[in-house]
Amino acid sequence: MFQKEFADRLTANPGDKMYCRLSVNTQLLAKVEHLMKVKRTEFRPPPKVDSAVVRIQPKNPPPPINFPEWDGLVRIAFLRKNKTLLAIFKQNQMIALLEKNYKVFCSVKNIPIPPKLDMKEKIEKILTESGFAQKRARSLDIDDFLALLLAFNKEGIHFA
């Protein structure tokens, strides 16, 4: 049993007002089901909020995914869930972070770093070619986030 607002976040679907990083990560790792609402008047003394009962069944086996990297992408996407992904990823801080991660990846894998690396252009190209440039985090489901992570990883951009 959880506070109703928290339960709503756990069970939210893409497009819902309550859809957030918690929803995506929980639904990636478990099947989440809203069972019932429990009104505050059912308790003595009554709390200030309503509650809800939620069933959380872990997926067995868990998805074969690098969770820190997954969470890094989802964290970035939900910084401003109502902005387009292109607008989020074009921010100077984001470009600097991804460029740093890219250079670390290249040095670990012994891949030469292109002399005229334009990370902003590279990110725009990835988002445009994968069809995510004008999409917003609030409307992406788990499969969309997986496809986006794969598109970035194919180009050597990592989030952890």
Q: Residues marked as binding for S-adenosyl-L-methionine?
A: 1
Cite the annotated binding site by residue number.
Answer: 1
Q: Which two tokens stand for residue 18?
A: 């309550």
Rg of the chain on CA atoms, in Å: 19
CA–CA gap between residue 152 and residue 98 (Å, rounded): 10
CA angle 143, 33, 62 (to 5 degrees): 50
Adjacent-strand bridge partners of 84: 136
The one-letter amino acid at 102: Y
> Does residue 91 contact residue 47 with C-beta atoms inside 8 Å?
no
Nearest to 154 by CA among 132, 128, 124, 126: 126
